[in-house]
Structures are given as structure tokens and as C-alpha cells.
Amino acid sequence: MALNKLKKLFADEEENLVGTEDEYYSISEDDALKEADKTGNKMILLEPRAYSEAQQIADHLKNRNSVVVNLKRVTSDQAKRIIDFLSGCIYSIGGKMQKIGVGIYLCTPKNVNIQGKITDDSEKSKNSNTENIDW
């Protein structure tokens, strides 16, 4: 008798859980973007055209998003000012900045761990004692 009561109890619970795994694990793209906004899981790609856009980059970092900054569209003086500004911002939030190419930097907040390093060809030739040979 008690066994039948237990079966009824669990059968009712199973009926409430009926659904496919896809329904259970699926999330809409809008919900995923909202969740990424809350947790800072975005990778933002920016090409500033003026120093005034540096604050926008800092705002993304404050929201715990990673930012790839391409400085090829600004003058070298503006690029230096942007890097100086971002260096201060990144220091204040405990983040990191890594050069990943000529004029391209990866800026990350504290919640992102960067592994590995990309070396520049010009750094390689400065550090080696061998002649540059064109292959």
C-alpha cells in the first residue's frame, strides 16, 4: 500500500517535469546576451578614430568585458594617449594589457586570465644575434 502511494507521489512530480532536454537546456540568443551583459562575458572589438573614444573602451572594461583595440585608424600621438589612458584604467581595475599585433592590443579586466604570448617579428630580430635571412 505504501509503495503505491510513493509511486503516485513521484509520478505526479515526473509529469510536471515532462519536456525534452532541448527545452531544458535551450536559451534564446537575447537571454544569452542579457546574461553576458550581467557577467561580463563579452569580447568587444573596437577601432577608435579619436582619443575621445578611449572612455568607451574603459567603460567596457569596467563592465568586466574584454576589449581588442585596433589603433591603426588614429595618429601615433593619439594612439600613445589612448594607451596611456587605458594603462591607468587597467591598473585601477587590476586588469591586463597585451600587445597582440602592430597597433592592436588586448585589454582584459581582472576576471579574465590570459594565457600565452604573441611575439612580434621585430622583437625576434632585436633579440637574436643571427643575421636576418629571407627564406
Q: Among all chains, which residue has been given the C-alpha cell 535551450?
A: 26
67: amino acid identity, one letter: V
Residue 132 lies in a domain: no
pLDDT exceeding 70 applies to what percent of the chain?
59
Q: DSSP states of 99-115 as a string? A: EEETTEEEEE-TT----
How many domains does the chain divide into? 1
Q: pLDDT digits over 46-83, tens only?
A: 999 999 999 999 999 999 999 999 999 999 999 999 99
- C-alpha cell belonging to residue 109: 579586466
Checking if the pLDDT of 91 tops 70, the result is yes
Query: 13 or 4, which is more confident?
Result: 4
* Residue with grid cell 588586448, as numbered in its chain: 106
Number of H helices, E strands in the chain: 6, 4
Check which CATH number belongs to the domain holding 87 and give it: 3.30.110.150
Q: Note the pTM of the prediction, 2 decimals.
A: 0.63
